[in-house]
């Protein structure tokens, strides 16, 4: 499922799909770094969720990002700490030009860093991916040209959709499992 970041009903649509797709409760793993605008969707989402007291575990924020350098270590820690929780991985991604601005929700993992040639473990039982730029061979230069407005708006839609999904679910999920 995908939505465009300019869709006026984007938050509601994504929230409804989150409710239908994810297993509750879940751990939110926000991947990226604030050192590169094009890669800070994840940390921005993590920051917003923690500031709004999201009721499930959130890792990867502006203050404590999870990125290529610490991903393996953090993933091992989180899998040991939360062996029974499914992981929702959130990350920025590269795609086709016509996909820029799309947010995709999928069952299954993502491959962080793949678009810039990094080899990292696949992450997540579910994934939310924000397409922020196109893939090209000189990506290191290109991803630094992404506008903060796009990143901020996409991160806001993802965070607000997750918050709305949690508010909308009245299925008796016990937070005490955490």
Q: Report pTM.
A: 0.90
Report the pLDDT value the prediction gives residue 173, as an integer from 0 to 100: 47
Size (the chain), residues: 178
Residue 176 clears pLDDT 90, i.e. is over it: no
Q: Which three-class secondary structure state does DSSP give residue 33?
A: coil
99 vs 120, higher pLDDT: 99
How much is the average pLDDT of 59-83?
95
Task: Kindly state the DSSP code that residue 37 receives in the 8-state scheme.
Answer: G
Ranges 41-45, 51-55, 137-141: which has the least confidence? 137-141
Give the pLDDT band (50/70/90) at residue 120.
Answer: confident
Residue 9, pLDDT above cutoff 80: yes
* Contact yes or no for 49/86 (Cβ under 8 A): no
Q: Is the model's pLDDT at 7 over the cut of 60?
A: yes
Looking at residue 136, its pLDDT comes to 65
pLDDT tens digits, residue range 69-80? 899 999 999 999
Which pLDDT score, from 0 to 100, does residue 103 have?
Answer: 98
Stretch 5-29: mean pLDDT: 96
> What domains does the chain contain, in order, with CATH numbers?
2-168 (3.40.50.1450)
Average of per-residue pLDDT values in the chain: 89
Listing from the earlier edge strand, what are the strands of the sheet with 126-134?
2-4, 102-107, 126-134, 87-95, 27-30, 58-59
Q: What is the pLDDT of residue 68?
A: 87
How far is Cα 107 from Cα 122, in angstroms, rounded to an integer?
13
3-state helix, strand, coil in the chain (%, to 5): 40, 20, 40
């Amino acid at each position: 499922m995908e939505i465009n970041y300019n869709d006026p009903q984007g938050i509601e649509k994504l929230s409804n799909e989150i409710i239908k797709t994810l297993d509750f409760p879940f751990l939110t793993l926000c991947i990226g770094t604030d050192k590169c605008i094009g890669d800070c969707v994840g940390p921005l989402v993590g920051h917003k969720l923690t500031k709004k007291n999201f009721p499930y575990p959130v890792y990867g924020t502006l203050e404590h990002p999870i990125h290529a350098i610490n991903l393996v270590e953090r993933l091992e820690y989180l899998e040991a700490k939360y062996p029974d929780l499914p992981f929702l991985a959130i990350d920025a991604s590269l795609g086709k030009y016509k996909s820029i601005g799309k947010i995709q929700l999928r069952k299954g993992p993502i491959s962080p860093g793949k678009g810039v040639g990094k080899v990292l473990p696949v992450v997540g039982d579910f994934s939310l991916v924000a397409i922020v730029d196109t893939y090209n061979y000189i990506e290191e230069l290109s991803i630094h040209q992404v506008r903060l407005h796009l990143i901020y708006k996409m991160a806001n839609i993802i965070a607000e959709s997750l918050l709305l999904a949690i508010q909308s679910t009245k299925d008796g999920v016990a937070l005490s499992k955490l």
